[in-house]
């Protein structure tokens, strides 16, 4: 099987290293699209996209470009030329999934994306295996290593800003950390996981998201003093034909299994009819865990694994009835007086059990750009 690489950054280079060293499988990289000329004597590099996407000698492409428009264009063009595709690009998948699935189905090719959620856990393939004989009812978990690293460090008494800077220095956080700390990356992964667990596509913007950008040491102190810690969780529950979904910081008991997941690791808990609860823990990011997941997808396709892209249906989020107790620190606590149960020492409002949709309406009324919210679970 001849492989074309669309991009060769950290993960792409990791895949190249693994495949170039592999002697067990009939798989080789024959062409590599890059943005800038490389004078290293390797004739596989090209600046021309069609040298990969339209190359009749290439059987499968791997996409490492990032972003949405160019990545979607190149992956779609490759599939239209009869090539299988593997990607780790969660944003592109979450935004363009129906179009990508339709293109794969119409052209009789495979589009695999194990590395898009959970890095090297593996998460996607386990969902597929479970669903062969079982029905999944819910999942929740830590699926962003950057925010988990930040929150784990803040548990030790550090403030948000210096921890974020440290994460950027170590390469755990991007120079622009918006997708991570505002919860968007977790939301993209939630969309992909819903497709795998329920054959349902939900637009990313339909999932309520609250990030950790405005978390403070006082929030962590409150959690610690009450036997809890803070984790950014994706949570999804299927109720009949409806799906309740959210991305939100949660204060969870320190003896909870998810509380023990530290640094940049990921952990995802799944509930199914026959197996009950399962917990998957592993490296959720990093060059080699992600590269490993990509190569596993390549080998799965080479071995004839298939996915039924025609099963995808359009769904919507129905959070009516989803309720909880919330910790809300804001400059406008009076807005939440009707649902207030008590005040924390730092002035944060602790609510009575309240519908999430009502809380979201009050947050809009508060109009506080630095508000921080976490559900107490």
In our burial notation (b when 16+ CB lie closer than 10 A, e otherwise), range 97-131 reads beebbebbbebebbbbbbbbbbbbbbbbbbbbebe
94, 38 in Cβ contact below 8 A?
A: no
189 is catalytic: yes
200, 315 in Cβ contact below 8 A?
A: yes
CA–CA separation, 301 vs 13, rounded Å? 20
> Which of 189, 262, 353, 358 is labelled catalytic?
189
Give 266-334 as a 3 state SS string. Answer: EEEEEEECCCEEEEEEEECCCHHHHHHHHHHHHHHHHCCCCCCHHHCEECCECCCCCEEEEEEECCCHH
- Six-digit token string for 242: 């409806």
Phi, then psi, of 278 in degrees rounded to 5: -125, 140
Alpha carbons within 13 angstroms on the beta-carbon side of residue 70 total 13
CA–CA separation, 377 vs 374, rounded Å? 9
DSSP helix/strand/coil, 148:
helix
Which of the 8 DSSP states describes residue 352?
P
85, 62 in Cβ contact below 8 A?
A: yes
Q: In 3-state terms, the chain is what percent helix, strand and coil (to 5)? A: 40, 25, 35
Q: How do strand 349-351 and strand 323-329 relate by DSSP bridges?
A: antiparallel
Catalytic residues: 189
């Amino acid at each position: 099987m001849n492989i074309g690489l669309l991009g060769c950054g950290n993960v792409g280079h990791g895949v190249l290293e693994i495949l170039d060293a592999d002697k067990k499988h009939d798989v080789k990289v024959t062409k590599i699209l890059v943005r800038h000329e490389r004078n290293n004597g390797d004739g596989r590099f090209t600046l021309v996209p069609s040298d990969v996407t339209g190359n009749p000698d290439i059987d499968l492409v791997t996409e490492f470009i990032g972003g949405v428009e160019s990545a979607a264009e190149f992956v779609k063009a490759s599939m239209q030329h009869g090539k299988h595709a593997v990607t780790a690009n969660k944003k592109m998948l979450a935004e363009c999934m129906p179009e990508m699935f339709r293109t794969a189905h119409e052209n009789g090719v495979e589009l695999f994306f194990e590395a898009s959620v959970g890095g090297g856990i593996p998460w996607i393939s386990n969902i597929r295996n479970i669903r062969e004989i079982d029905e999944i009812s819910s999942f929740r978990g830590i699926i962003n290593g950057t925010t988990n690293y930040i929150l784990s460090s803040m548990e030790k008494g550090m403030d948000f800003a210096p921890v974020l800077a440290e994460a950027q220095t170590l390469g755990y956080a991007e120079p622009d950390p918006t997708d991570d700390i505002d919860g968007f990356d977790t939301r993209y992964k939630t969309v992909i996981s819903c497709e795998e667990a329920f054959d349902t596509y939900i637009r990313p913007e339909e999932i309520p998201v609250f990030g950790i950008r405005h978390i403070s040491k006082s929030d962590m102190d409150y959690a610690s003093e009450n036997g809890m810690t803070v984790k950014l969780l994706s949570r999804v529950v299927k109720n009949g034909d409806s799906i309740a979904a959210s991305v939100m910081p949660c204060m969870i008991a320190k003896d909870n299994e998810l509380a023990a997941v530290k640094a940049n690791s990921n952990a995802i808990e799944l509930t199914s009819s026959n197996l009950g609860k399962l917990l998957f823990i592993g490296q959720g990011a990093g060059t080699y865990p992600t590269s490993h997941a990509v190569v596993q997808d390549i080998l799965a396709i080479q071995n004839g694994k298939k996915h039924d892209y025609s099963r995808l249906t359009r769904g919507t989020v129905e959070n009516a009835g989803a309720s909880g107790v919330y910790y809300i620190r804001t400059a406008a606590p009076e807005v939440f007086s009707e649902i207030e149960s008590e005040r924390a020492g730092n002035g944060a409002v602790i609510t009575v059990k309240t519908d999430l949709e009502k809380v979201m309406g009050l947050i809009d009324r508060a109009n506080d750009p630095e508000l921080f919210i976490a559900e107490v679970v």
